[in-house]
Amino acid sequence: MADGKKHATREAYGKTLAELADEGIDVVAVDADLAGATKLDAFRDAHPDRFVDVGIAEQDMMDVAAGLSLTGKVAFTGSFAVFATGRCYDQIRNTVCDSNLNVKVCPTHAGITVGEDGATHQALEDVGMMRALPQMTVLVPADFNATRAALRLAATTYGPFYVRMGRLPVSQVYDEGFSPEVGHAYVLREGTDVTIAACGVEVGEALAAADALADEGISAEVIDVFSIKPLDAGTLLVSARKTGRVVSVEEHSVATGMGAAIATLLSENVPTPMHLMGMRTFGTSAPVATLLEHFGLDAKGIVRETREFLAEWS
């Protein structure tokens, strides 16, 4: 989408599934009474015969999706991220992943940008839970166009997928023709002094931070870690060797998310000074802008912490 407006990544969900169905891909969707919020209603309205609502029963949602996948369907599931991973982890682990079923776990409302819904609805552990599972692919798209592409990748690539979507309208990062690949990260801005690796809504914040750092004479390379599992080792290691210092930024727990994955990669291949930005506590209820500022995950926070990190390792 390229209309100059901000769009939440969740807005791509139902629209893209409807397009895929129209194109002849045998997609179905299973929801847990949240089709309006997850934007699966666009798919439901276009293809009611391919949509199942199990009610507020996420475990059933995942098992129904698993069963549909065994009939040859490409089965997508919705709900909020905190429920789609936490309430039915057994079903994802033992039914979907252990059997390598063609089920796509695609929740919305991830991270602190859920906003006023508060800590109970702000999934901060979901990426870590999903990347720990054998067979699972984990994608965190940065904007509407990247999300549309990620959903298409999930639909046309066999196996379990986790595609993390959000509630917050974000600026366009990619053109409509963006065609990413599983296992790839994308260098959005070249730099020489520090690498800023980001995913999801933090990609836009990282780009804005790089602009501000440039005004201070700091050259920041910005990488969109679109694919968190598998990780793009080549792109990340080349950048780390070039800049010698890495900052990771995510609206997720630093203990198990994207930053932790990158830290493991660097420690095993190119030991590099690294600063992990993300969540170290539960979130709280407040407007999104307030939360991003409070937890230091807006552009100003990235600039501040990057500057301090570089001073420490200069």
Residue 58: active-site member: yes
Q: Is the preceding peptide bond at 287 cis, omega within 30 degrees of 0?
A: no
Treating both helix axes as pointing N-terminal to C-terminal, what angle do 144-156 and 12-22 enclose, rounded to 10 degrees? Answer: 40
Does residue 64 sit in helix, strand or coil? helix
Look up residue 303 and give its two tokens.
Answer: 């600039």
- Give the DSSP letter of residue 121: G
| Sheet of strand 246-253, all strands in order from the earlier edge strand to the far edge | 186-189, 220-224, 194-198, 246-253, 274-279
Distance between CA 98 and CA 159 in Å, rounded? 11
Look up residue 157 and give its two tokens.
Answer: 């690539």
For residue 198, list its beta bridge partners.
224, 249
Distance between CA 123 and CA 88 in Å, rounded? 14
Distance between CA 42 and CA 50 in Å, rounded? 12
The residue from 11, 19, 23, 58 that is catalytic is: 58
C-alpha of 259 from chain center: 13
Tell me the catalytic residues.
58
